[in-house]
Amino acid sequence: MLAPHASTTAPLVDPFQRAISYLRVSVTDRCDFRCVYCMSEHMTFLPKRDLLSLEELDRLCSAFVRLGVRRLRLTGGEPLVRRDVMTLIRSLGRHLESGALDELTLTTNGSQLARYAADLTAAGVRRVNVSLDTLDPAKFKAVTRWGDLAQVQGGIDAALAAGLDVKINAVALRGVNEDEIPAMIDWAHARGMDLSLIETMPLGDIDGDRTDQYLPLSLVRARLAQRFTLNDIPYRTGGPARYVSVAETGGRIGFITPMTHNFCESCNRVRVTCTGTLYMCLGQDDAADLRAPLRGSDSDDRLEEAIRDAIARKPKGHDFIIDRRNAKPAVARHMSTTGG
Q: Which residues are annotated as a binding site for [4Fe-4S] cluster?
A: 31, 35, 38, 264, 267, 281
C-alpha distances in angstroms, 62 versus 71, 100, 117?
A: 12, 10, 23
- Residues near 309 by beta carbon (within 8 Å), at least 6 away in sequence: 288
The closest of 57, 196, 224, 229 to 130, measured between CA atoms, is: 196
Residue numbers in the known binding site for S-adenosyl-L-methionine are 37, 77, 131, 201
Q: What string of DSSP letters covers 14-67? A: -TTS-B--EEEEES-S--S---TTT--SS--PPPGGGSPPHHHHHHHHHHHHHT
The closest of 334, 339, 338 to 41, measured between CA atoms, is: 334
Q: Is the CB of residue 251 less than 8 Å from the CB of residue 188?
A: yes
Alpha-carbon torsion 64, 334, 217, 244, what sign? Answer: negative
Q: CA–CA separation, 98 vs 285, rounded Å?
A: 35
* 3-state secondary structure at position 150: helix
Residue numbers in the known binding site are 24, 31, 35, 37-38, 73, 77, 107, 131, 167, 201, 264, 267, 269-271, 281
Instruction: Give the CB-side neighbour count of residue 253, counting CA atoms within 13 A.
Output: 29
Q: Are strands 252-256 and 71-75 parallel, antiparallel or unpaired?
A: unpaired
Residue numbers in the known binding site for GTP are 24, 73, 107, 167, 269-271
Q: Are strands 103-108 and 71-75 parallel, antiparallel or unpaired?
A: parallel
Residue 337 CB burial class (10 angstroms; 0-12, 13-18, ≥19): buried
